[in-house]
Amino acid sequence: MVKIKIKDLCFGYASTQILENVSIDIHKSSFVSIVGPNGAGKSTMLKCLNKILTPDSGEIHIDGRNLRHLKRMEVARNLAYVPQSSNRIFPTTVFETVLMGRRPHLGWFINENDKEKVWQVLDELGIEDLALSSFDELSGGQQQKILIARALVQDTGIILLDEPTSNLDIWHQLDVMEIVKKLVNNRNVTALMAVHDLNLASKYSDQILMMKDGQIVSAGKPASVLTSENIANVYGVEAHVHTHAETLYVMPLKQLVMSIDA
Ligand code: ADP
């Protein structure tokens, strides 16, 4: 079943065209990674999906409903967005930060059910002991987990994550990927994640979208997308790709071009 349908999506900042005719179907309960060099348009695409940015043309359908016709609160009841952690500051406690995720569901008041939901998610992620800590004083790994908790209490069928592992050590990288995998497997959530690490993308994704210059140049199962040829064309890097125990590994070997900046 198609959860997100993107058709001929175009978007530009001022005079610069970024996304060019992006079309893709994302299936329900799938873990989809978006890979591609810096500036390829990964974040821009996630922001169009979350209606932070308005496309110039093209269509996005969520569960068959045109995103253009959904109000902001309706969007927030369908899609949760985990931004890059580095640009977020919340001068509040962890509990209050996570509670902010309940906003799309709140009536006039915060009720016990909303607070219960926050405790439940903090408990699920094993971070209930951080509830009264100040968000700003936590480590990058803890902050990332709290931003994910905030998205989880939003109770949406779709979660969008923008490079959630990029500032984390390998333990915390796996921690984040495992949380997302469980969401997909146990709660039927559809996850769309921009990620730089091709090995993490290959290990966890059902589908990978590889972007370059605002276009999807390859999409499909990790083994069909993460080929030496695609990596050379998209990143300008020679890479050795091999499979062991059904897991695909990518080892970058050398740069093939002087620059890949557009
Ligand atoms: P990625 O997430 O793949 O690194 P982005 O979507 O962040 O790529 O950026 C795509 C292109 O859009 C880049 O060339 C970037 O410089 C440009 N861009 C991103 N944000 C803005 C902005 N607010 N104003 C103008 N250009 C932007």
Q: What is the DSSP letter of 139?
A: -
> Which of 26, 33, 19 shows the shortest CA–CA distance to 5?
26
Binding site membership of 42 for ligand 1 (Cβ less than 6 Å): yes
Binding site membership of 212 for ligand 1 (Cβ less than 6 Å): no
Between CA 173 and CA 234 the distance in angstroms is: 24
Report the length, in residues, of the chain: 262
Q: Is 155 helix (H, G, I), strand (E, B) or coil?
A: coil
Atom 9 in ligand 1: residue holding the nearest Cα: 39
Between CA 190 and CA 33 the distance in angstroms is: 11
What are the boundaries of each domain within the chain?
2-226
Binding site membership of 55 for ligand 1 (Cβ less than 6 Å): no
Question: Is 110 in contact with 102 (CB distance < 8 Å)?
Answer: yes
Between CA 198 and CA 247 the distance in angstroms is: 12
Binding site membership of 234 for ligand 1 (Cβ less than 6 Å): no
**Cβ contacts of 16 within 8 Å, gap of 6 or more:** none
**Cβ contacts of 14 within 8 Å, gap of 6 or more:** none
pLDDT value at position 15?
80
pLDDT one digit per residue (tens) for the chain, 262 residues: 999 999 999 999 988 999 999 999 999 999 999 999 999 999 999 999 999 999 999 999 999 999 999 999 999 999 999 988 655 667 789 999 999 998 888 766 778 888 999 999 999 999 999 999 999 889 888 998 999 999 999 999 999 999 999 888 999 999 999 999 999 999 999 999 999 999 999 999 999 999 999 999 999 999 999 999 999 999 999 999 999 888 899 999 999 988 887 6
Beta-sheet pairing, 65-66 with 247-255: unpaired
Using the mean position of ligand 1's atoms as its centre, give its distance from the Cα of residue 164 in Å. 17
pLDDT value at position 215?
98
Atom 27 in ligand 1: residue holding the nearest Cα: 13
> Which of 261, 10, 44 shows the shortest CA–CA distance to 162?
44
Atom 1 in ligand 1: residue holding the nearest Cα: 39
**Residue 104: how many CB atoms within 10 A of its CB?**
17
Could you tell me where the DSSP H helices lie in the chain? 42-49, 72-78, 94-99, 112-124, 140-152, 170-187, 198-204, 222-225, 228-235
Distances (CA, A) of 161 to 5, 17, 70, 84: 18, 23, 21, 8
Both tokens assigned to 135: 């968000």
Atom 14 in ligand 1: residue holding the nearest Cα: 39
Which atom of ligand 1 approaches the CA of 46 most closely?
6
Binding site membership of 48 for ligand 1 (Cβ less than 6 Å): no
Ligand 1 pocket: which of 9, 10, 11, 18 to mutate (most atoms within 8 A of CB): 18
Using the mean position of ligand 1's atoms as its centre, give its distance from the Cα of residue 16 in Å. 10
Between CA 68 and CA 58 the distance in angstroms is: 10
Using the mean position of ligand 1's atoms as its centre, give its distance from the Cα of residue 34 in Å. 15
Both tokens assigned to 237: 């890097």
Between CA 22 and CA 11 the distance in angstroms is: 10
Question: Is 190 in contact with 158 (CB distance < 8 Å)?
Answer: yes
Which atom of ligand 1 approaches the CA of 14 most closely?
25
User: Can you identify the CATH homologous superfamily of domain 2-226?
Assistant: P-loop containing nucleotide triphosphate hydrolases (3.40.50.300)
pLDDT value at position 258?
83
Binding site membership of 17 for ligand 1 (Cβ less than 6 Å): no
Using the mean position of ligand 1's atoms as its centre, give its distance from the Cα of residue 38 in Å. 8
**Cβ contacts of 97 within 8 Å, gap of 6 or more:** 90, 135, 146, 150
